[in-house]
Amino acid sequence: MTLARQHQIQVVAHRGASEEAPEHTLAAYKKAVDDGADALECDVRLTADGHLVCVHDRRVNRTSNGRGAVSALELSDLAALDFGSWKRHHDEAVEGEGPDWEGSAGADTSVLTLERLLELVAESNASGRQVRLAIETKHPTRWAGQVEERLLLLLKRFGLDAPPSEGASPVRVMSFSARSLHRVRAASPTLPTVYLMQFVSPRHRDGRLPPGVRIAGPALRIVRNHPGYVAKLKRAGHQVHVWTVNEPEDVELCAELGVDAIITNRPRQVLTQLDRL
């Protein structure tokens, strides 16, 4: 793809290599690293006993063999669940065969803490395989700052809370909540933040984002319906990270528009299309 070669698009594995392995499990993130993803995306929620775990939905019903809200369960409750069986059943029903990820080394499908994911990123970077982490705070307003507080404490333990500059940071924090990003920036001004958008609200129509935010995270539907908006964001000085881009024609569109990152469930396929593998 000629256009894609003109600039390096970061390929971000959405919930890990989540098309092939169960989302938000170590199995999915190890696969994404092995596949060559530049970065890993994860959602974080607080458990009842204050641990940050990587789970997308408010409840664990869809992605585990348990039931209940993450916020009402303790880490030990979550540790007793299997976050891979739903995907095994889905793959067998849809594709008629067992999944590839299951037999692979490190096919861990227990609940993933953010701490363990940060360890994986650190291990990977120490071994010379550079990978970044994009952490999304889910429903942060409900917790009045606790999600960001725990997140920053954890990042501090890994020496990642105060990078010398935004560009040098292996971690960035994403949210649909401007307030959540504001809290992060107030505590850690050089940590990059990404403002996620489901739609373009009137106050951001001209390409400006909440104060201090340098990266825009528009949904793919915004880019499809208003391709000129990417140029507007870039003219306003922002990087553009688009989610969730899985189809080849959408990868092509994003490359043509010069986006900076593609967030995808299929990192290997996207890297192949961008002539990176």
- For position 136 contacting Ca ion by CB under 5 A, the verdict is yes
> Considering CB distances under 5 to 8 angstroms, the limit depending on partner class, which of Ca ion, ligand G3P, none binds residue 266?
none
147: number of Cβ within 10 Å? 24
Distance of CA 125 to the CA centre of its chain: 18
- For position 20 contacting Ca ion by CB under 5 A, the verdict is no
**Structure tokens, 117:** 């994911």
Question: Which of these is catalytic: 24, 51, 56, 238?
Answer: 56
Interface mask toward ligand G3P for 165-204; x: CB under 6 A: -------------------------------x--------
3-state helix, strand, coil in the chain (%, to 5): 40, 15, 40
Q: Which stretch binds Ca ion (CB under 5 A): 97-105, 133-141, 187-195, 226-234?
A: 133-141
Candidate residues 43, 91, 161, 250; the one interacting with Ca ion per rule CB under 5 A: 43
DSSP state of 205: T
Nearest residue (CB) to Ca ion, 24 versus 238: 24
Q: Is 56 a catalytic residue?
A: yes
Instruction: Look at the block and give the residue holding tokens 């992605």.
Output: 63
Q: Is 14 a catalytic residue?
A: yes
- For position 23 contacting Ca ion by CB under 5 A, the verdict is no
Nearest residue (CB) to ligand G3P, 6 versus 247: 247
Nearest residue (CB) to ligand G3P, 56 versus 232: 56
- For position 245 contacting ligand G3P by CB under 6 A, the verdict is no
- Candidates 269, 235, 232, 234; CA nearest to 250 is 269
Residue type at 188? Answer: S
Omega prior to 244 cis, within 30 of 0: yes
The backbone torsions φ and ψ at residue 90, rounded to the nearest 5 degrees and listed phi first, read -65, -45
Instruction: Look at the block and give the residue holding tokens 């979550």.
Output: 78
> Considering CB distances under 5 to 8 angstroms, the limit depending on partner class, which of Ca ion, ligand G3P, none binds residue 38?
none
Burial class of 34 by CB neighbour count within 10 A (0 to 12, 13 to 18, 19+): middle
Q: How far is the CB of 83 from ligand G3P (least distance, A)?
A: 16
Candidate residues 56, 232, 266, 268; the one interacting with ligand G3P per rule CB under 6 A: 56
With the C-alpha atoms ordered 106, 150, 217, 39, is the resulting torsion angle positive or negative?
negative
Nearest residue (CB) to ligand G3P, 28 versus 263: 263
Footprint (CB under 6 A) of ligand G3P, residues 87-146: 136
250: number of Cβ within 10 Å? 18
- Candidates 239, 270, 263, 28; CA nearest to 136 is 263
Q: How far is the CB of 126 from Ca ion (least distance, A)?
A: 26
**Spatial separation of the C-alpha atoms in residues 130 and 209, rounded to whole Å:** 29
- For position 73 contacting ligand G3P by CB under 6 A, the verdict is no
- Residue facing ligand G3P at closest CB distance: 243
**Residues in contact with ligand G3P by the rule CB under 6 A:** 14, 41, 43, 56, 136, 196, 217, 243, 263
**Residues in contact with Ca ion by the rule CB under 5 A:** 43, 136
